[in-house]
Amino acid sequence: MADVAHAKASEAVDLHPSERPLRRFIVANRAALGSLSIFWLMLLAFFTANPVVFSNWGLYTAVMTTLPVTLFLVAPLVFVVTSGEIDLSFPAVMGLASLAFAVVVQAGYDPLLAMLAAIVFGTLLGFGVGALVVYGGLSSLVATLGMNFMLRGVILIVTNSKSIAMPDLVDSVAFKLFSGKVFGFPVQMFWAVLFVVFCAMLYNRHRFGAHVHVVGDNPDSANEMGINVNWTRVKVFGLMGLGAALAGVFSTMINFTWWPTSGDGYLLPVIASVFVGGTPPWGGIGTVIGGAIGAMTVSFIQTGVVGVGLSGFYVQFFYGLIIILSLLGHRWNQVRYR
Amino acid sequence: MTTPIIELRGITKSYGTIYALGGVNLHVNPGEVVGLLGDNGAGKSTLIKILAGVIKPTSGEILVNGSAASNWSPARSRAAGIETVYQDRALAVQQSIVRNIFMGRELAGPFGWLNMRKQIAEAERLMREIGFTSKVFSPHSIVGQLSGGERQGVAIARAILKQANLIVLDEPTTALSLTETAKVFHFVRQVRESGRSIVFIGHNIHHVFDIAERFVVIDRGRVAMEKTKAEVGSAHALIEFMEDVAKPHHAREIA
Ligand SMILES: Nc1ncnc2c1ncn2[C@@H]1O[C@H](COP(=O)(O)OP(=O)(O)OP(=O)(O)O)[C@@H](O)[C@H]1O
Ligand SMILES: [Mg+2]
């Protein structure tokens, strides 16, 4: 009875525009939707330029073999940026964690165990970096830049800059589970999507995600409401370490080889993906799904430019062009409230 | 003697060489409304932030229900049932109304996954209860899009979400229109009738005199006066005292 009366009453009142379901969906996801439109526009441009090459499924599977590595890095970095920080140390953490993987595999243990070791090691490294930044009261931009150099240095010193080949990986259960192909579809894409979905849930529907948002938005207020601001920030870096470890393991399994430079090439594309995806640089808001779409966009640029028939020299130019265009695109729907 | 629900003893707070508070005692009894008065910069906000655990006092003791509290923090004070509406409102303006209301106290199920439905339903109920504007707001609205008074509504909603033992309001009506102010006073009376305590900070002495039962005047970090309503007598007497306090030190000492 009371419910019916209430329903009628709320019908009588005009719904606030932001309450209409479709409108609310669009407003809530406008950054991700914006990134998606940018992605489709780019794809459309490539397709019109060379329909033959871009009708070839092989081109897309090629992208989908390497895209997962980026996705494992992009999703946690959205948390870092939302919390008002930045992490430039993830390439070295990725390298160190995958070194742990390679060492354990080489020692003759099961690759599944090696994966676990890499994940634990990478996460701990992430927490370590976070603790240094947060409790040391350092600027995350500068401190993580320093950590990236230092940890990469450790890698070079420890391994004498020698790579580790693991040809036996092909026959392992771990490889079939995490790096094989199912019906011609790269299976690592499945795991990466699962990870992105998990991160998106964590970001939007978990207490941790809620804390990350308010800590990035107004740390004083978060503190006044009893949230442990410092610990929340440290945990965000821990999550970044976890993602870096996963990225390291997956990229090592793709190549059957660990390289001392492992992770190095990901720094700029991953950071670009986060911003192309619609997460603003000032903290407090962001989108994990948008970041994943941004990663798709960035991953397709190289393949696309070459596929269109342009020389590789154009790749960098188009990287820059797409980043700038998408930032301009996001500009009008990112309002910064103060 | 009733045991105060909270008691501050000999609280000092220094910022470098500046003493914001120089040995303040303050207690709040169950069901009591305390009016905290004083000039700009007297130390009122500093005092209530110490009460809320946001600022650590340089020295002094905090007692909850008669027993000394250690490691006093915002989380502890909230757990003890103390809710504060800060002067600067302390909202995360890029977030939705729901997220602000449940900040630090999210309704979560197993493993910390949020119970979004319940949070939204609760937020809607609270917003209706406060009724802070004629406009229909959704709990999803971003706080940055609200007016100053509407934001104050969100801050108050957050403070009454749980049945707090003590609600501290630091100049809650400064940005508000007459009707909004009336709503806040109506709300304060409701809280008082439900037997909970309030610390009310305000510069409108008529308002504070109306609402409070006991008055504490802070002057340059010290308690200059502490009297019950009966002892003070009238708002006029309180105003006269405040004017006297406002005179520079030497003038008062000579007089
Ligand atoms: N972080 C700080 N660093 C240095 N001094 C501070 C700090 N915070 C407050 N103070 C000083 O402490 C004193 C008390 O400030 P407080 O905000 O408690 O005053 P108030 O009584 O709330 O005043 P108002 O009525 O204007 O809100 C002021 O002189 C202020 O300058
Ligand atoms: Mg104040």
Name the pLDDT band for B28 (thresholds 50, 70, 90): very high
Mean pLDDT of A319-337: 82
| Residue at B119 is within a domain | yes
Q: Is the pLDDT of residue A185 over 90?
A: no
How do residues A37-49 score in pLDDT, each as one tens digit? 889 998 898 889 8
**Percentage of residues in chain A having pLDDT higher than 90:** 63
Ligand 1 close to Cβ of residue B42 (< 6 A): yes
Give residue B249's pLDDT. Answer: 59
Mean pLDDT of A186-196: 94
Identify the top-confidence range among A7-21, B35-49, B123-137: B35-49
| Residue at B1 is within a domain | no
Q: Mean of the per-residue pLDDT values for chain A? A: 90
Give residue A4's pLDDT. Answer: 43
Name the pLDDT band for B129 (thresholds 50, 70, 90): confident
Name the pLDDT band for A17 (thresholds 50, 70, 90): low
Identify the top-confidence range among A196-205, A306-315, B18-27: A196-205
Ligand 1 close to Cβ of residue B40 (< 6 A): yes
Mean pLDDT of A167-177: 87
Residue type (1 letter), A138: L
CATH number at residue A233: 1.10.3470
Taking a C-beta distance cutoff of 8 angstroms, is the pair B43, B223 a contact?
A: no
CA B42 to ligand 2 centroid distance, Å: 8
Name the pLDDT band for A14 (thresholds 50, 70, 90): low
Residue of B91, B104, B114 with shortest CB distance to A206: B114
Q: Is A81 on the interface with B (CB under 8 A)?
A: no
Give residue A16's pLDDT. Answer: 57
Cβ contacts (< 8 Å) between B92 and chain A: which residues?
213-214, 217-218, 221-222, 284
First-to-final CA distance of chain B = 37
**Percentage of residues in chain B having pLDDT higher than 70:** 94
Q: Tell me the nearest-neighbour CA distance from A62 into chain B, angstroms.
A: 36
How many structural domains comprise chain B?
1
R_g of chain A computed on alpha carbons: 22
Q: Quick one: tokens of A305?
A: 């430019």
Taking a C-beta distance cutoff of 8 angstroms, is the pair A147, A240 a contact?
A: no
How do residues A277-319 score in pLDDT, each as one tens digit? 999 999 999 999 999 999 999 998 888 888 888 887 888 888 8
Taking a C-beta distance cutoff of 8 angstroms, is the pair A277, A78 a contact?
A: yes
Q: Mean of the per-residue pLDDT values for chain B? A: 89
Q: Which runs of consecutive H residues, i.e. helices, occur in A13-56?
A: 21-28, 30-49, 51-54
**Element at A268 (helix H, strand E):** helix A267-276
Q: What is the DSSP letter of B206?
A: H
Identify the CA nearest to A273 among candidates A105, A64, A77.
Answer: A77
CA B83 to ligand 1 centroid distance, Å: 20
CA B216 to ligand 1 centroid distance, Å: 17
Say which ligand is closest to the CA of B36.
Answer: 1
Q: How many whole angstroms separate alpha carbon B162 and alpha carbon B154?
A: 14
Instruction: Give the total residue count for chain A.
Output: 338
Q: How many whole angstroms separate alpha carbon B253 and alpha carbon B229?
A: 26
Q: What pTM value is reported for the model? A: 0.91
What is the rounded (10 degree) CA torsion for A306, A312, A316, A322? -20
| Residue at B97 is within a domain | yes
Cβ contacts (< 8 Å) between B79 and chain A: which residues?
226
| Residue at A248 is within a domain | yes
Q: What is the DSSP letter of A15?
A: P
**Element at B24 (helix H, strand E):** strand B18-28
Give residue B133's pLDDT. Answer: 57
Q: Tell me the nearest-neighbour CA distance from A220 into chain B, angstroms.
A: 7
Q: Is the pLDDT of residue A3 over 70?
A: no
How do residues A61-99 score in pLDDT, each as one tens digit? 888 888 999 999 999 999 999 999 999 999 999 999 999
Q: Is the pLDDT of residue A13 over 70?
A: no
Name the pLDDT band for B186 (thresholds 50, 70, 90): confident
| Residue at A1 is within a domain | no
| Residue at A182 is within a domain | yes
More confident of the two residues A30 and A138: A138
Domain that holds residue A83: 31-333
Give residue A209's pLDDT. Answer: 98
Distance of CA A102 to the CA centre of its chain: 23
Taking a C-beta distance cutoff of 8 angstroms, is the pair A154, A96 a contact?
A: yes
Give residue B134's pLDDT. Answer: 54
Give residue A244's pLDDT. Answer: 98
Q: Is A32 on the interface with B (CB under 8 A)?
A: no
Q: Do A24 and B113 touch (CB under 8 A)?
A: no
Give residue B254's pLDDT. Answer: 46
CATH number at residue B169: 3.40.50.300
Identify the CA nearest to A212 among candidates A117, A79, A327.
Answer: A79
Mean pLDDT of B174-182: 82
What is the rounded (10 degree) CA torsion for B96, B101, B105, B111? -30
Domain that holds residue B112: 6-254
| Residue at A21 is within a domain | no
| Residue at B43 is within a domain | yes
Mean pLDDT of B24-28: 96
What Å distances lie between residue A220 and B94, B168, B253, CA to CA? 14, 18, 40
Asked whether the CA dihedral A168, A174, A176, A179 is positive or negative, the reply is negative
Give residue B132's pLDDT. Answer: 59
| Residue at A107 is within a domain | yes
Give residue A8's pLDDT. Answer: 41
How many structural domains comprise chain A?
1
Name the pLDDT band for B50 (thresholds 50, 70, 90): very high
Atom number in ligand 1 closest to CA B43 = 18
Q: Tell me the nearest-neighbour CA distance from B65 into chain A, angstroms.
A: 20
Q: How many whole angstroms separate alpha carbon A12 and alpha carbon A9?
A: 5
| Residue at A17 is within a domain | no
User: H helices then E strands: how many in chain A?
Assistant: 16, 4
Phi, psi of B213 (to 5 degrees): -110, -20
Residue type (1 letter), B82: I
Instruction: Give the total residue count for chain B.
Output: 255
More confident of the two residues B137 and A198: A198
| Residue at A116 is within a domain | yes
Cβ contacts (< 8 Å) between B102 and chain A: which residues?
210
Give ipTM to 2 decimals. Answer: 0.90
Q: How many whole angstroms separate alpha carbon A162 and alpha carbon A160?
A: 5
Strand A257-258 vs strand B82-85: parallel, antiparallel, or unpaired? unpaired
